[in-house]
Amino acid sequence: MLSQREILEYLERLEREIRELKEKVAAKQGQESAQSLYGIWKDKFPEDLDVDKALQEIRFGWKGKLDKA
């Protein structure tokens, strides 16, 4: 069983470690700038791409392969 002093020391150490982790996370988030998905994927696919049609082809393609197996 830990004494009251040991518990307080342990909690202080945890508090300090949590504070340090928060500072590291905040510093890392500051380094990374958010990009929109539109900006990342712009010009990667044709403007007239029919996403619903493409997804349907993918789904039915897998279904056909599974039915054959």
**Any idea where the domains of the chain sit in the sequence?**
1-31
Give the dihedral of Cα atoms 14, 20, 21, 27; nearest 10 deg. Answer: 170
Assign 3-class secondary structure to the chain.
CCCHHHHHHHHHHHHHHHHHHHHHHHHHHHHCCCCCHHHHHCCCCCCCCCHHHHHHHHHHHHHHHHHHC
Q: Tens digits of per-residue pLDDT, 4-63? A: 999 999 999 999 999 999 999 888 876 666 667 777 777 888 888 888 998 988 888 877
Specify the pLDDT at position 41.
79
Specify the pLDDT at position 12.
95
Query: Is-above-0.85 flag for pTM?
Result: no
CA distance 58 to 69: 17
Specify the pLDDT at position 34.
65
Specify the pLDDT at position 19.
95
